[in-house]
Amino acid sequence: MTPEFVVEFAKQAIILTIYLSMPMLGLGLLAGLVVSVFQAVTQIQEMTLTFVPKIIAVFLGLLFAAPWMLEEITSFTRRVIENIPLYIR
Per-residue pLDDT tens over the stretch 7-33? 999 999 999 999 999 999 999 999 999
Q: Give residue-wise pLDDT tens across range 53-80.
A: 999 999 999 999 999 999 999 999 999 9
Q: How far apart are the C-alpha atoms of 3 and 23, rounded to whole Å?
A: 32
How do the domains of the chain map onto residue ranges?
3-87
List Cβ neighbours of 45 (8 Å cut-off, separation of 6 or more).
39
The pTM score is 0.78
Q: How far apart are the C-alpha atoms of 10 and 17, rounded to whole Å?
A: 11
Residue 43, amino acid: Q
Contact (CB, 8 A) for 43 and 13: no
